[in-house]
Structure 1
Amino acid sequence: MSIAATADSGAISDLPAAASGSMQPAMRILALSVSYLGFVYLANAYLVFWLDWPGVVALLGDAGLLGFAAPKEPLGGRVALAILQIAFYPVTVAAIVVYVLRTRARTLHMDAKRLSAIGAFVARAAFWTVLLVGLADAVVSFLRVEGLLPDVVGKGLAQDLGKSSFRAQVLHLPLMAAAIAISLFTRSVGFTWLALLVVVAELQIVILRFLYSYEQAFMADLVRFWYAALFLFASAYTLLHEGHVRVDVLYSGFGPRRRAWVNAVGAAILGAPVCWIVMTMGLANKFSVVSGPLLSFEVTQAGFGLYVKYMLAGYLLVFAVTMLLEFMASLLSNAGVLLEEADAPQSKGESDAHY
């Protein structure tokens, strides 16, 4: 037997049964904690930036811990809210530990499928959001630029729809809610349709520009709006099916077990930290690259363009969340291969039943 074959065959399964058995729940706790704590972090960011809760950083600064600057005003009675926000993290981990210990019969592959399903739901909701919001905002922008909006909705409402905050709350948010409802009843993500819509949106620009000499800012905005969504929302799907370009000279020659090692370590050491960096840096404060545009409902400088630039910043959160879930699903699936679980996937994309 060659050295490569020996290295490929000897792995976690060669450990004592007790050690191998303890790794399965440990891997589940790790992957589920890393995934669900991401949602806790996003929930805390919402509480801080939109509901004006003090937050973890303010509490640490108020107590003079870890070098954080003290808040401009003492927290006073709001300390309880900050403590509650901190408590969300250990409570979440504790709940995961209890869940794992009570469901020892669940395999790593089962949890991987669940994480992929959650990521697919997020991607579906995001897809329907950009579809509905893009079409609706394009119609409003067209009516505005042609001076027809007051005739359709009235002068007062037409003026209000020219304000980004009003349009976002009155038009975009209800459509987002509708998109979430639709995603509950659909079982696939329309990446193919979104790609087609990008082509159609670009084609109508070409036709109208060269045949009718007509072009408006919202038309190009719509192409960018949908193309950015296609690129970022489909990343997790591409990762699941190993569609990303691999720049390597070794991986293709590895056996199944060595590939599982590479994928598991890469997901845990390289993939998940990047997703957490995107979330933490994007929501570090009210002026960060994600929270700033979302809080101000930022729009482009073109007066009659789409009022959706703030949503492009939100795309980064969708990307980070879906990729984090898929990285942890990959970690669990490949750990299942190393532990030789009976239902471990044997080919790429086999674990997918939701995208």
Structure 2
Amino acid sequence: MLRFAGYIDALNRAVAMGLRWLVLAMVLIQFGIVIGRYVFGVNSIWVQESVLYLHATLFMLAAGFTLLVDKHVRVDIFYAKASPATRRRIDISGHLVLLLPAMAALAWWSWPSVRNSWKILEGPISVGGIEAVFLLKSLIPLFCLLVALQSLAILLRLLAGKDSA
């Protein structure tokens, strides 16, 4: 089971290492948009939307890695001062009762929208934009999958008595 958890960790690390290049692309494209608009007086909805697509991809697909490295948002009213055993119980409960059911619900309820978007190859958000909203919507189930898998890996480790990856 711990080997399986390690494979999940490796998957999310690989995804994150690939996605980090999107940050550079976003900065360069946004810089180009500003220069184009304010220096040359040109603008492109398609290019502006590309920043949105890159940003959405980065945050949706890197969420599993964020959970892996424990940099996610944690409401630690009790957690910060709790004993290690209590923290373990809080973590296990959080994954089983909150995180995994939330990912399942989000995947379940978003799937019809994603499926329909692919069925019609849903077009741009704005006139002149990127004609691939279906790809943008596909990030939702991928987000759910990567976060749920990482949650499972963490849960396996917690149940085996291991605290970190």
Give the TM-score normalised by the residue count of structure 2. Answer: 0.90
Residue 2 of structure 2: aligned partner: 109
**Residue identity in the other structure for 2:75:** V
Identify which of 97, 102, 105 aligns with 1:269.
97
Alpha-carbon contact 1:191-1:230 (below 8 Å) kept: yes
Taking the TM superposition and a 5 Å limit, the aligned residue runs for 1:185-200 are 189-200=17-28
Higher relative contact order (CA 8 A, sep 6+): 2
Taking the TM superposition and a 5 Å limit, the aligned residue runs for 1:95-174 are 108-120=1-13, 124=15
Percent identity for Structure 1 against Structure 2: 24
Taking the TM superposition and a 5 Å limit, the aligned residue runs for 1:200-349 are 200-283=28-111, 288-300=112-124, 302-337=126-161, 344-345=162-163, 347=164
**Residue identity in the other structure for 1:196:** L
Separation in structure 2 between the aligned mates of residue 336 and residue 272 of structure 1, nearest angstrom: 18
Residue 7 of structure 1: aligned partner: none
Separation in structure 2 between the aligned mates of residue 231 and residue 301 of structure 1, nearest angstrom: 19
Alpha-carbon contact 2:33-2:48 (below 8 Å) kept: yes
Q: Deviations over 1:85-104 (max 9, x none)?
A: xxxxxxxxxxxxxxxxxxxx
**Residue identity in the other structure for 1:111:** F
* Unmatched segments (≥5 aa) in structure 2: none
Question: Displacement, 1:191?
Answer: 3.3
Alpha-carbon contact 2:63-2:143 (below 8 Å) kept: yes
**Residue identity in the other structure for 1:112:** A
Q: Deviations over 1:94-148 (max 9, x none)?
A: xxxxxxxxxxxxxx43232123334556xx3xxxxxxxxxxxxxxxxxxxxxxxx
Separation in structure 1 between the aligned mates of residue 128 and residue 29 of structure 2, nearest angstrom: 17
Question: Displacement, 1:303?
Answer: 4.5
| Alignment size in residue pairs | 165
Alpha-carbon contact 2:26-2:55 (below 8 Å) kept: yes
Higher gyration radius (CA):
1
Alpha-carbon contact 2:122-2:133 (below 8 Å) kept: yes
Separation in structure 2 between the aligned mates of residue 277 and residue 290 of structure 1, nearest angstrom: 14
